[in-house]
């Protein structure tokens, strides 16, 4: 036993040394909810920036921001608490025990492991800096920089082997200046200094200053997920009841159509007879006069409206007239307390939670620009999206609108629109013109065929899919070929390819497509008749 004692003591010493030197994440407290915060300094934006997370200053103006996916706090109880929590986190990082002392020039293909990396002077990041967690999801990377921190254009932090942005921290004793196109990961705390981010920068993390200005210009910043952050489920969805059977409905108002409009779901009014709809184009029942189904739908719609109207909101979007513009929303209840104008694109990010709910309350009318788009990403589903509008909803030509639209005491109008969901009105007229409405998750007891998406329209098919150098487009009905146009988009909705289809079978050269997921829409005479997903290998 005596001979084994040195071995035992050596093992204890090694374990104790490892425990003392292993990097520990600081306690952020309420600061974890903020994407941008200064204890004492202005927080300013110019250009079109996309922010997910709270924005605040405990002693300074906040200017230039449009809608952000978070709460704006200025010198209130939340900023006072954040200032206290930020000081605690700064102290913990400042006292972390050094495990590595890299040179002040980071990146250029360099790889670092977890630990406390201390640098004695001004530091720059150029090219790619890789942080390798060695398959440990709890690995923590701390950078203690006794000077300024800057990056070269298009510098990038690359996280591998389960490294997470929520476990990366930068404590900087000086100004932080990120050059255009920088992809930065981690929580930055600049002590008594400014933080400057510019066009094309992305921050997967947070930017904090104990005393200094924070300036953005065309920047994307979002709080990281993981590390114990709560999963975002959003609010509880309303009960659809009989409204689930309908694609288009008004409790008290006329429903009319012009042009070739395709509907999956019932069409009806509890006060008027629908006009102008071709039964061959309606994959459901056209209720030619009010009946028991429309009466039940009217009752259930009122319950739905009352629920979504009374739901407390999490985030107020402060600039309803600037809604869209590539704004990214996460599962919450949102409020716009005035008429809203949707321009360009809104992204609904479910954060890989297919059950996440989005509810958007608009206390006014809703108008969309031509070609506006609601994009679902990371598991978001149209069946889980609800829009409550206190006024008319005018969805413009060639727009793609997703979710259940509930209008109170106003009209819904659309022309050449894809509605991936439902349009329901408590009181008001509903008109369609050469559009497509696809109700999702139709119950089996409704008198419909129950199609759930445009991908099931089967007007065209692709093979192979996934594809590499080519894919073939084939029409099931040759009569649909005339006046048909195919458009392919990338994951962000940017158009990648457009062509006019001239035959029942058309081969497409797809060498130009990098590997990834794409979406397509098939249009005939300017009307969307099918959408779907493609994969390039």
- Split at pLDDT 50, 70, 90, the class of 176 is very high
Domains for the chain: give ranges and CATH numbers. Answer: 21-222 (no CATH), 241-438 (no CATH), 454-536 (2.60.40.3080)
CA neighbor of 166 nearest in space, from 130, 142, 147: 142
Secondary structure letter of residue 213 according to DSSP: -
**Residue-wise pLDDT tens digits, 210-269:** 999 999 999 999 999 889 888 899 999 999 999 999 999 999 999 999 988 999 999 999
- Arithmetic mean of pLDDT, 75-95: 97
Residues 6+ apart with CB under 8 A from 40: 57, 58, 59, 60, 210, 211, 212
318 pLDDT more than 70: yes
20 pLDDT more than 50: no
2 pLDDT more than 60: no
Give strand ranges (E) for 270-417: 282-283, 315-316, 327-329, 333-336, 340-342, 345-349, 358-362, 366-368, 373-377, 385-389, 393-395, 400-407, 412-414
187 pLDDT more than 60: yes
Q: In Å, how far from its chain's centre is CA 87?
A: 31
Give the Å distances, CA to CA, from 188 to 86, 116, 207, 491: 11, 15, 5, 29
Mean pLDDT, the chain, as a whole number? 89
- Arithmetic mean of pLDDT, 177-191: 98
- Arithmetic mean of pLDDT, 160-171: 97
Residue 16's pLDDT is 32
Residue 513's pLDDT is 85
- Arithmetic mean of pLDDT, 351-358: 95
**Token couple for 379:** 């598991």
331 pLDDT more than 90: yes
First to last CA, the chain: 62
Secondary structure letter of residue 117 according to DSSP: E
Q: What pairs with residue 74 in β-bridges?
A: 57
Residue 448's pLDDT is 37
- Split at pLDDT 50, 70, 90, the class of 430 is very high
- Arithmetic mean of pLDDT, 64-92: 97
15 pLDDT more than 70: no
More reliable by pLDDT, 50 or 6:
50
- Arithmetic mean of pLDDT, 71-75: 97
Q: Which of 95-99, 127-131, 475-479 has the lowest mean pLDDT?
A: 475-479
What percent of the chain has pLDDT above 70? 90
Secondary structure letter of residue 191 according to DSSP: S
**Token couple for 265:** 């779901």
Residue 137's pLDDT is 95
Residue 17's pLDDT is 35
What is the C-alpha to C-alpha distance for residues 46 and 218, in angstroms, rounded to an integer?
7
Q: In what order do the strands lie in the sheet with 527-536?
A: 495-500, 484-489, 516-524, 527-536
- Split at pLDDT 50, 70, 90, the class of 34 is very high
Q: Strand, helix or coil at 150?
A: strand
Q: Which of 18-32, 406-420, 439-453 has the lowest mean pLDDT?
A: 439-453
The model's pTM: 0.78
Residues 6+ apart with CB under 8 A from 223: 32, 33, 34, 35, 52, 53, 205, 206, 229
**Residue-wise pLDDT tens digits, 503-521:** 888 888 888 888 876 767 7
331 membership: H or E segment, kind and range: none
77 pLDDT more than 70: yes
CA angle 85/89/92 to nearest 5° reads: 140
Q: Which of 117-121, 310-314, 451-455 has the lowest mean pLDDT?
A: 451-455
């Amino acid at each position: 036993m005596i001979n084994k004692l040195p071995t035992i003591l050596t093992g204890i010493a090694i374990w104790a040394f490892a425990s003392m030197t292993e990097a520990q994440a600081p306690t952020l407290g309420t600061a974890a909810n903020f994407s941008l915060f200064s204890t004492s300094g202005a927080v300013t934006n110019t250009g079109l920036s996309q922010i997910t997370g709270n924005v605040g200053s405990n002693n300074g103006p906040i200017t230039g921001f449009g809608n952000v996916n978070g709460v704006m706090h200025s010198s209130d109880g939340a900023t006072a608490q954040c200032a206290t929590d930020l000081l605690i986190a700064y102290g913990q990082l400042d006292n972390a025990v050094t495990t590595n002392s890299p040179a002040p020039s980071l990146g250029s293909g360099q790889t670092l492991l977890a630990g406390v990396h201390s640098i004695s002077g001004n530091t720059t990041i150029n090219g790619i800096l890789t942080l390798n967690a060695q398959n440990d999801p709890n690995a923590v990377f701390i950078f203690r920089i006794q000077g300024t921190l800057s990056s070269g254009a298009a510098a990038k932090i690359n996280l591998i082997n389960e490294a997470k942005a929520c476990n990366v921290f930068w404590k900087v004793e000086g100004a932080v200046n990120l050059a255009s196109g920088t992809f930065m990961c981690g929580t930055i705390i600049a002590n008594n200094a400014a933080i400057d981010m510019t066009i094309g920068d992305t921050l997967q993390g947070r930017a904090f200053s104990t005393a200094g200005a924070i300036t953005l210009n065309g920047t994307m910043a979002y709080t990281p997920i993981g590390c114990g952050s709560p999963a975002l489920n959003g609010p509880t969805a309303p009960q659809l009841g009989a409204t689930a059977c309908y694609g288009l409905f008004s409790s008290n108002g006329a429903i009319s159509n012009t042009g070739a409009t395709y509907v999956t779901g019932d069409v009806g009014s509890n006060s008027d007879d629908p006009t102008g709809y071709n039964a061959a184009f309606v994959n459901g029942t056209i209720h030619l006069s009010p009946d028991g189904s429309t009466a039940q739908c009217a009752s259930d719609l009122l319950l739905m409206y009352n629920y979504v109207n009374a739901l407390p909101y999490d985030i107020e979007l402060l600039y309803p007239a600037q809604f869209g513009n590539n704004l990214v929303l996460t599962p919450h209840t949102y409020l716009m307390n005035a008429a809203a104008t949707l321009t360009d694109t809104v992204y609904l990010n479910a954060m890989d939670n297919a059950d996440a709910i989005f509810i958007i309350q608009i206390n006014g009318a809703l108008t969309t620009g031509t070609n506006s788009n609601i994009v679902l990403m990371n598991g978001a589903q149209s069946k889980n999206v609800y829009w409550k509008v206190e006024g008319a909803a005018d969805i413009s030509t060639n727009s793609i609108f997703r979710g259940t639209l509930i209008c109170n005491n106003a009209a819904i109008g659309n022309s050449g629109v894809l509605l991936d969901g439902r349009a329901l009105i408590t009181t008001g007229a509903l008109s369609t013109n050469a559009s497509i409405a696809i109700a999702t998750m139709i119950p089996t007891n409704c008198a419909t065929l129950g199609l759930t998406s445009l991908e099931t329209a089967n007007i065209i098919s692709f093979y192979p899919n996934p594809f590499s150098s080519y894919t073939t487009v084939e029409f099931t009905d040759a009569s649909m070929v005339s006046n048909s146009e195919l458009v392919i988009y990338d994951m962000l909705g940017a158009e990648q390819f457009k062509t006019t289809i001239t035959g029942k079978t058309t081969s497409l050269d797809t060498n130009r497509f990098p590997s990834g997921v794409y979406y397509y829409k098939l249009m005939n005479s300017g009307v969307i008749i099918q959408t779907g997903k493609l994969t390039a290998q």
